[in-house]
Structure 1
Amino acid sequence: MASANLKLCSLAAFALAIVQITVAGDPDILFDYIAPNNVDGSFFTFTGFRAITEQPPPQSFKATKASAVEFPAVFGQSVSYAALQFPAGSINPPHTHPRSAELLLVAQGALQVGFVDTTNKLLTSTLQTGDMFVFPKGLVHFQHNADNNQTALALSAFGSANAGTVSIPNTLFNSSIDDTVLALAFKTDVGTIQTLKKGFAPK
């Protein structure tokens, strides 16, 4: 009987742990918002996206973020935003967001997008202006403006004030991971790894 009770308690504890994992996200706050004293409406206003319309398009892919770092008013609110500018033929390389899913809206142009699930299945779509696509939390994904003549603009919403971004190429080839480790992982030679790293070295 004692053994059965122990198994039941263990099972209940395991089930509770699974529930806690599935609802994990930004911690709840005990106030309406987190802000310095005597704030006004300007604290809750972000003007960083004005540059998108006031400046010429960038020469390479550019992400302008409105996360807790750039826009402190979102701290504790479990939301953030990013504007993604794609010159003709450019790409947002494969990356992940460890703390949030991403909901992307194409505001201008067209994008080829996709993600790889945990079974290594690639799911892709070609999005036109006005289309939306969701990238599940933590999965490797990318966006590509395949049009060599037209720019594209997308807006991404996140369910975290700091979704985090882990760029796969930059993390692997612009870090201090040993060349031999990378060569073994990619089933190639050290020389090839060193050539790849040169492309990510600071200029």
Structure 2
Amino acid sequence: MASPVLKHGFFMAFVLTLSALQMASASDPDITTDFLVPQNITTVDGNFFTFTGMRAVVPIDPPTAFKVTKASLAEFPALNGQSVSMAVLEYSAGSVNPPHTHPRASELLFLLYGSLEVGFVDTTNKLFTQTLQAGDMFIFPKGLVHYQYNANATDYAVAISGFGSASAGTVSLPTTVFSTGINSRILAKSFKTTVPTIHTLKRGLIPPKA
């Protein structure tokens, strides 16, 4: 059953995140019309500007794994040209959002419930970390490698992230490096390890069969 904190705080978290994004400089190109309509849309009314995909996570029940529910350009076409998107991130006990980047936007994370260990690495390879409590916010600068980890072994966490782009993009480092066909010998030399070790890492990233 969902926590009362989540039920009453979910909408407020959206409002806070959107307000913060309005103060940030947008990374998407400016548009010369009020909004953009995809060619396949013939009727523009209130439904076009409404996204109902978050209903599935309200109220939020304890997640069984790390899960992201996005409201980006791909899911919500009305965001095109508006330089904003959002995501709800659910962390089961002990789960991690692995190191990744968003090449087209910074990320402003608002922790709604639980606690999170977060961090990012700048271009000088300096690591910045923090342990967040419910109500805290953290900014991940555009394009930098970052992660989130729920170190709590018994309780879950929930966060809402806002992005300064309708299509921030996500580049997962483990997937990009080990699951895109880069030659194992090249990876072994790059990481100063052996080809069998690289093969073991690659096998570990293969999704389990249903």
TM-score above 0.5: yes
Deviations 1:97-126 (A, max 9, x none): 000000000011110000000111000000
Determine the C-alpha separation between the residues in 2 that align with 1:107 and 1:40.
32
Query: TM-score, length-normalised on structure 2?
Result: 0.83
Identity %: 60
Q: Partner amino acid for 1:167?
A: S
Match of 2:74 among 39, 60, 69: 69
Partner of 1:89: 94
Q: RMSD of aligned C-alpha atoms? A: 1.5
- Runs of 5+ unmatched residues, structure 1: 1-22
Cα separation, 2, equivalents of 1:58 and 1:170:
23
Tell me what 1:34 maps to: 36
Tell me, yes or no, if structure 1 residue 110 matches structure 2 residue 112. no
Instruction: Write the mapping of 1:12-161 to structure 2, written as runs, cut at 5 A.
Output: 25-35=27-37, 36-53=41-58, 56-161=61-166
**Letter paired with 2:132:** L
Asked whether 1:195 is paired with 2:200, we answer yes
**Structure of higher CA gyration radius:** 1
Displacement after TM superposition at 1:24 (Å)? 8.4
Give the Cα separation in 2 of the matches to 1:63 and 1:69.
Answer: 14
Greater RCO structure (CA 8 Å; 6+ sep): 2
1:6 maps to none
Query: Given the two structures, how large is their TM-score scaled by the length of structure 1?
Result: 0.85
**Structure 2 runs not aligned, ≥5 long:** 1-24
Write the distance in 2 (CA, Å) between the matches of 1:176 and 1:89.
Answer: 30
Q: CA deviation at 1:173?
A: 1.2
Distance 1:24 1:128, change over 3 A: closer
Instruction: Name the SS of the counterpart of 2:187 in structure 1.
Output: helix
Q: CA deviation at 1:157?
A: 0.3
Aligned-partner residue type, residue 31 of structure 1? T
